[in-house]
Structure 1
Amino acid sequence: MKSLRTPKASLAKIEVLACVTAFLLMLLTISGSNRRRRNNRKLRFLLWAAYTLTSYLIVYTLGLMTEASFRNELLPVWATFLMIFFGSSDTYSVHSLEDCERWKNYVWQYALKIAGVSFLFIMSGIALPMISVLTLCLIVPLKVIRRATSLKIASGSGRQLTGKSIADYMQSEHQLSEGDLDPSQMRGYRYVVRKGKTIPMSLKKLKEREAAKQWEAPNYRKPLEITDRVVTIEKVWKCQGWLLRSGGGDKDSKLKDICLSFSLYKLLRLEFSDYSLPKQAHEKAWKLIRYLYAEGNGYERAFRVVELELSFLFDSFYTSYPTIFKPLGWRLKVVELLLLVIGVPVTIGLCFPRYDSNRPQDEVQLATTGGLSIDFLVTVLILLIFAWVELVQCFFMAISDWAKVALLCKYVRTNSWHENRRLEKLIRLICRTQLPKPWERKLQQYSLLESYDYTPPRWLYNRITYLFIDRIRDGQAQSSPAELSAEVKKAVFRSLMSNPEAEALKNGVSSLIRNEVEHELAWACRLDTQTQVIIVWHIATSMLEHRVRISDSNFIVATSLSKYLAYLVTFYPKLLFDQPYDSEYIFNVIVMEARRLLKDCKTIGERINKLNRIHKTTNVTNKVIIQGARLGQQLLDVENEPNFIWKVLAEFWAELMVYVAPSNNAIAHAQHLARGGEFVTHLWALVSHAGIKRENPVE
């Protein structure tokens, strides 16, 4: 134990902790954006642990440095890098939305750390040439400002502040194009893509304007001037440069759609700021969505636009990109890179190891047998990791969708770029660079008849551990996820488009009416809660999946959506409409009913057969699991023709999928963007733009 308290042991501990912190930063940088592309609990836990440990390790290591009873000229260098690491990962600025609200706490933490490091510099009395340390120290405030600004913008008050001008502008935007609206050419769609530096009106200019109009009716909205510097969707489509022409470098409109997604992201962000749009704005957006659908495989294009829109939304909450791509932000990033290019080689050169005989006698160091300083090797390792992280982040930033929007908007504003074919091809190469898929593109699945007997391990999930980890309840066992197929997207979008005037959605009854089976089956849409509706239809679909199995697109649509909505009820009821704890209670009761009624049934076939016998012989009709069996039999009795049965089920589930999409809990959708994304979130974005609400269940 005494050997662990020696100066050399303390120095070794500091070096190990500094290296571990550097590797954790590298992990966050590499895997930070993967959390929105993979719904993987282990990955989320690993990244949460790295994100949380980094902060504590930095504080602890700085404490060891300031309390060290020995001298080492590299302590200030390591301390500086620890300070830089505290705000380095631009792709992982926060782990959860709650972290955004603590932006003041983050700033104060940094201030205290700076005070500790300053104390270390003063008290150490190190004779090391400080030009390298000072150069690196200049990076610290740049990172602090960027990350703190990102947190503030993503916080509740920040969202309201940044959304104010767009919200006020959209209150009258529809009036600018009355009688002259053409979605095919985006004529009349003056949605703002990029505002530029000159748009926000200064207080002085505002006072001058108000003084000149003092006798006019007052306007209390925040002004947003549409000048030549402002890029709108209409301007992007009107651009005559080769790069954005449909017959030139943008034949499939993918480049223009990047700008469209960004402008829609700005409107969707208003959902998180308590701002609302007028009915006319929603009607205008609905015409745009219908146009996207009308073009060939329009549902693919529409979902592509929404995927990218939600990617921007994720970045606005969980990364520093919104701050970096502000006019001043990227300039500060360039300065930061210059300091990196200067600071790293200078630090390595000035800290080059000397042999023990040339070092101060009272300085503690670790050395190999050959005399090469391990302290120096640790410093080089940290420097290389830091340099690698920064360069990788710059590469990601250069090919990010935010950079593409900035380049395309600059291209629209700069006529001279339209005549430079080499520049146009370079921009096209950057904008056409394929990035990893923006989300997992899978439908998580749950089958009640397969999983109701699942019991989680009590040693891990009990009354004590539920304070520390999310509790897994009885019957809560996921099935293997299903790929989000083109058939599912097409069916859901077709159901959405069957609502021509963006009227209130119905919970599946319309599909039953179209198939002329409403008199027999509509009762299953009028249950007390929508949770019960989903589970009843899910049980019926699961039974028919094993009794009337066919190879058909309707079969794929019905079974995939049935298990997906059951998954949402079971795991994430906050994304649906019933009160979440009501849904949890109903689910728990249904699991108990299933365990009692299907006791000793081992296989899915045995369970289905017993359900058929029970619903025919019992007088009890208010149990969900019996109602599901009854509905399954009724589907067979209506017309015992497999193709028709699965057509009814596919259209019902597609309509119900659209019905659950409207939500007042926008924050829940934003939280799930960091968990691999959800299909229902994409539909929520679509219906939010169109202003579509759900109708009360049919009485």
Structure 2
Amino acid sequence: MGYDMNDTSAVLRSCPKSIDSYVRNLTSSYADKSNESSVVATSVFMLVLTAVFFNLNLFSRVSNTSAVLNPTARLVLSSALDIFPAVMAYLFSEAKNAGPGGDSSSSSDLPVRARVILTWMLLVELLRKKVAAILVTPGAGPGQGYGAIISHAATVVWLGYLVFYNIKGAGRVAVFGILWLLGAAKFLQRVAFTEIGKRSLAYGKNARLLSSYMAQMLQARGPVSEPDTPWKRLEMCKYVVMGEENLVVMPGPHGYQLDLARVDDDNSRIVTVGKIWEVAADAEQSSGHRRLFQSNPRIRRLCLSYALFKLLRRRFEHLPAMTKEETDDCRDLVFKGLCSIRDSGDDDDNAAALGGGGVALFQVLKDEISFLSEYHHSVHPVVLASPYFFLVNYFLFPTVVCGLCLMTILLCGNGDMAVAFGSIMADNYAMSAGVFTMTRCLWQNFLKTPAAFFSTIDISITYLLFLAFIYEEIWEFLVFVFSKWFMVSLLCTYTAKPRSWGLSKTYSGVLHRISYANRKLSHPSRIACKQLSVLSRLSWLSMALGTASLPKQAKSSMTERFRSAAYGGAPLSNGKDILLLLGRRHQRRHDYSHLSWFCESESVAEVILTWHIATSLLEVAVPLNQKAAGGRTASSSSSSSRPAADSHRTVATRLSRYCAYLVAFHPELLPDDPEGTERVYKDMKKGLKEALHCWDYHLASESARYRKLMDDEFLPDPDCRDVTMNVVKKGAMLGKALVDEAAKEDERSIWKLLDDLWVELILYVAPSSSDEHKKGHEEALLQGGELVTLLWALATHTGIARPPPTETKVVVTRVKEDLEEGSQVAVTRVEEDLEEGLQPSPP
């Protein structure tokens, strides 16, 4: 290499001799040029792994208190950890055999570099648990059963062998023994979480217990009178939040035998949604209640989310579907109860004007899906959150581990604690010279000698791994304390004994502050939707797409449309019925029934892409906040309708881009077969490329794409109804029609049309009872769930289903001969059964 790796005297002359000796021993492996590549590979591999741990595990979650690790971080870290043991075992063996004299006898201690590699292995083992999810459901997926536990246990045992049979010197054994003990304790802790949770009626077996409870509760309750107020309906709700395991008498042949009388017992620890609402209703009688509930109405809604999450779990655990009695009861609870309440403490001052319950309902749904996501993918033990678990896991367990660490030190010193601590200081370079002294000395000489350079890299890797471990421990504690799970548990403890806890200013104050911090950190009202536009450059990665929040008006519109469908209104459609009924429903002057032809397709994905292209073209043609058409000054009436037009435009464009994103990246969440949806999207891209040509397809701006698609040479005849027309041409043809309509009449009516249509489309694709779609939603939970997952959960709870597809009847097929081109074009006319009083679209 042209230099002496061990020549450090000229540079490290001002450093303590122990540091000079440490650097010499650490870099001695580099002196052997035959071993140089493997030694460099060790540092490079660990530097990359440490950077991934430190960056993705830290900075990707600084502003996110979720217990679910970022999917990108999990993918990268899991892949790195899969190859880590084999690679490090080889490198450790190389470093061990490259000791003084080229060999390491059994009587001598490990070389310094081998000890550094062993330190990395122990620290990575401590960080490994931050990647694997904690599953408390029996029959978990592959890689999460006993095979994974046995593999992890073998790694822990192997590391123990390397520590206690290779490390010599009482001080070194004590330090490495403590690191191994921490790893072994964390492993046993994880095993306890999993096994206790799987066998518990409150966690692993809870879904089956809830199935028995709901069936017996509804049967025992029988018919009930209609509540006087929405609040009273929620007070009567007997959905269990916590404590249902105390109802079990014994397992029976068809579920669990339960003692339902305990539900109404005020002295029992069984907390229902109704009990929480009753305590909230008594807020005026207690200053503690008033402080807790009136300042934050979300806290009682959170308990409803938790109860609904427990009911929805059955759908993912292959248990019987919800009965009609259950869905009817839940439908009334949601639409006649929750959505009809206006809380004075709501954050949204305009909630009443926007339909009131829409904001509250979507907040409940978002929290429910968040519970479901963390239940299946949490890397922290938030699922087991309770005051008792908090004390055991974060106070008792660390105390026991500290006691074992002191015992390890004592054994290494042969019973003499003073000797043990003295040997720790003497046998370890960093402690004998001082950690800060060593760090300062190496960084001062970082670029002055290769020995100092490589030593600094190795020491920095160790520091970063140690800091990542400390950060993870602190972060786990904070995530647990501010988690929704812990808040629900605290509130249920509060509700079980409201009189005693209500007088406790300390308990209610702590609960209030945790609720406040959780709300500020989690942004419960914001529902993010990925945005994809075909008029922009198409992305291959969903993570590269931008996001936009779901507008409040969209929440209100979706709630009202779902309510209508749930109570016998017009069934959900792919948009065609909206166009046919719009004029009569809103008493409009303009008839849009001629546009219903663009919804006549058996493929929902084709309808979505057709209307998405048209909406995008209209968005470019009519810029936001544009004055009246033709440059004329807007009248006072049009000026007053501008905010309404802008709000309709926002809803339409955001839902349009989100639906396009579902077609492109989540075909498994749509009603069509995924392969069929992928084919439609692939054909759309092909048609777009043919229309724009290669250069413009990849690089053209939105305005340039708009001009190409709206060119008269590209657009088909306005009266053409060719069913073989591709999606791009149909979208451009529809876009031209919308632009012309916007130029002729009030722009607001066009955006209101698209607002209603996109709300109808997103609700149409949401309901599903098939296992394939359920699996798609389960996979989407890893990223926190999608908007369509929230709507799917609402449809599942309330029994809203998508109507079966109507059969089309082919009446006549005519073949025209094109004499100029010599080709034949098949034109099919289709007649469909329409609702009574509706006019068919023109041929």
Residue 390 of structure 1: how far off its partner (Å): 0.9
- 1:246·1:253 contact (CA, 8 Å) conserved in 2? no
Task: Name the stretch that deviates more: 69-78 or 247-256.
Answer: 69-78
- 1:36·1:673 contact (CA, 8 Å) conserved in 2? no
Describe the SS at the equivalent of 1:528.
Answer: coil
Residue 492 of structure 1: how far off its partner (Å): 2.4
The residue that corresponds to 2:58 in the other structure is 30
Residue 525 of structure 1: how far off its partner (Å): 2.6
CA distance in 1, matches of 2:425, 2:463: 9
Residue 63 of structure 1: how far off its partner (Å): 5.4
Task: Name the stretch that deviates more: 496-505 or 231-240.
Answer: 496-505
The residue that corresponds to 1:666 in the other structure is 774
- 1:594·1:625 contact (CA, 8 Å) conserved in 2? yes
Deviations 1:145-175 (A, max 9, x none): 45457678999x9998442111222223333
1:536 matches 2:610: yes
CA distance in 1, matches of 2:568, 2:85: 53
1:642 matches 2:747: yes
Matches within 5 A, 1:53-202: 53-62=80-89, 64-65=91-92, 68-69=96-97, 70=104, 71-72=109-110, 80-88=122-130, 101-124=143-166, 126-128=168-170, 137-148=180-191, 161-177=205-221, 178-180=223-225, 182=227, 183-185=230-232, 186-195=234-243, 198-199=246-247
1:280 matches 2:328: no
Task: Name the stretch that deviates more: 513-522 or 564-573.
Answer: 513-522
The residue that corresponds to 1:682 in the other structure is 790
- 1:62·1:117 contact (CA, 8 Å) conserved in 2? no
The residue that corresponds to 2:728 in the other structure is 625
Task: Name the stretch that deviates more: 544-553 or 567-576.
Answer: 544-553
The residue that corresponds to 1:351 in the other structure is 424
Matches within 5 A, 1:14-25: 24-25=52-53
Q: For residues 9 and 687 of structure 1, do their structure 2 counterparts lie closer, same or farther at Cα, with a shift above 3 Å needed? A: same
1:594 matches 2:680: no
Indicate which of 273, 285, 291 corresponds to 1:233: 273
Matches within 5 A, 1:358-507: 382-414=465-497, 415-433=499-517, 434-437=520-523, 441-451=527-537, 480-501=546-567, 504-507=571-574
CA distance in 1, matches of 2:661, 2:474: 40
- 1:661·1:684 contact (CA, 8 Å) conserved in 2? yes
Deviations 1:604-650 (A, max 9, x none): 12322337742348684531333334444555569744222222221
The one-letter code matched in structure 2 to 1:394 is F
Task: Name the stretch that deviates more: 440-449 or 581-590.
Answer: 440-449
TM-score between the two structures when normalised by the length of structure 1: 0.79
The residue that corresponds to 1:460 in the other structure is none
Describe the SS at the equivalent of 1:280.
Answer: helix
The residue that corresponds to 2:578 in the other structure is 511
The residue that corresponds to 2:828 in the other structure is none
CA distance in 2, matches of 1:251, 1:366: 51
Describe the SS at the equivalent of 1:443.
Answer: strand
The one-letter code matched in structure 1 to 2:339 is Y
- 1:306·1:686 contact (CA, 8 Å) conserved in 2? yes
- 1:531·1:578 contact (CA, 8 Å) conserved in 2? yes
The one-letter code matched in structure 1 to 2:278 is K
CA distance in 2, matches of 1:255, 1:477: 32
Task: Name the stretch that deviates more: 261-270 or 82-91.
Answer: 82-91
Describe the SS at the equivalent of 2:170.
Answer: coil
Structure number with greater CO (CA < 8 Å, separation at least 6) is: 1
Residue 376 of structure 1: how far off its partner (Å): 9.2
Give the % identical residues: 23
Task: Name the stretch that deviates more: 676-685 or 306-315.
Answer: 676-685
Residue 317 of structure 1: how far off its partner (Å): 1.3
CA distance in 2, matches of 1:337, 1:20: 31
- 2:288·2:508 contact (CA, 8 Å) conserved in 1? no
CA distance in 1, matches of 2:245, 2:46: 40
Describe the SS at the equivalent of 1:184.
Answer: helix
1:692 matches 2:834: no
CA distance in 1, matches of 2:246, 2:543: 54
1:338 matches 2:440: no
1:262 matches 2:262: no
Indicate which of 671, 679, 694 corresponds to 1:577: 671
The residue that corresponds to 1:459 in the other structure is none
The one-letter code matched in structure 2 to 1:301 is A
Q: For residues 569 and 152 of structure 1, do their structure 2 counterparts lie closer, same or farther at Cα, with a shift above 3 Å needed? A: farther
Residue 410 of structure 1: how far off its partner (Å): 1.1
CA distance in 2, matches of 1:420, 1:90: 39
Task: Name the stretch that deviates more: 239-248 or 506-515.
Answer: 239-248
Q: For residues 269 and 128 of structure 1, do their structure 2 counterparts lie closer, same or farther at Cα, with a shift above 3 Å needed? A: same
Task: Name the stretch that deviates more: 277-286 or 506-515.
Answer: 506-515
Describe the SS at the equivalent of 2:716.
Answer: helix
Q: For residues 88 and 592 of structure 1, do their structure 2 counterparts lie closer, same or farther at Cα, with a shift above 3 Å needed? A: closer
Residue 397 of structure 1: how far off its partner (Å): 1.0
Largest Rg, 1 or 2: 2
CA distance in 1, matches of 2:331, 2:479: 34
CA distance in 1, matches of 2:719, 2:669: 37
The one-letter code matched in structure 2 to 1:608 is M
Deviations 1:509-531 (A, max 9, x none): 44321324474233333312112
Matches within 5 A, 1:194-213: 194-195=242-243, 198-199=246-247
Task: Name the stretch that deviates more: 372-381 or 477-486.
Answer: 372-381
Residue 394 of structure 1: how far off its partner (Å): 0.7
- 2:691·2:708 contact (CA, 8 Å) conserved in 1? no
Describe the SS at the equivalent of 1:193.
Answer: strand
CA distance in 1, matches of 2:500, 2:767: 45
- 1:265·1:310 contact (CA, 8 Å) conserved in 2? yes
The one-letter code matched in structure 2 to 1:437 is H
Unmatched segments (≥5 aa) in structure 1 = 207-217, 360-364, 457-470
Deviations 1:550-584 (A, max 9, x none): 65122222222222212211222111110111111
Describe the SS at the equivalent of 1:388.
Answer: helix
Unmatched segments (≥5 aa) in structure 2 = 2-28, 98-103, 263-267, 342-351, 410-419, 433-437, 446-451, 585-590, 627-641, 697-703, 807-831, 833-843
- 1:293·1:301 contact (CA, 8 Å) conserved in 2? yes
The one-letter code matched in structure 2 to 1:338 is T
CA distance in 1, matches of 2:144, 2:42: 29
Describe the SS at the equivalent of 2:241.
Answer: strand
CA distance in 2, matches of 1:656, 1:170: 32
The residue that corresponds to 1:48 in the other structure is 75
Describe the SS at the equivalent of 2:308.
Answer: helix
Q: For residues 126 and 377 of structure 1, do their structure 2 counterparts lie closer, same or farther at Cα, with a shift above 3 Å needed? A: farther
User: How many corresponding residue pairs?
Assistant: 653
Describe the SS at the equivalent of 1:499.
Answer: helix
1:325 matches 2:385: yes
Task: Name the stretch that deviates more: 282-291 or 663-672.
Answer: 663-672
RMSD: 4.5
CA distance in 1, matches of 2:363, 2:573: 26
Q: For residues 438 and 19 of structure 1, do their structure 2 counterparts lie closer, same or farther at Cα, with a shift above 3 Å needed? A: farther
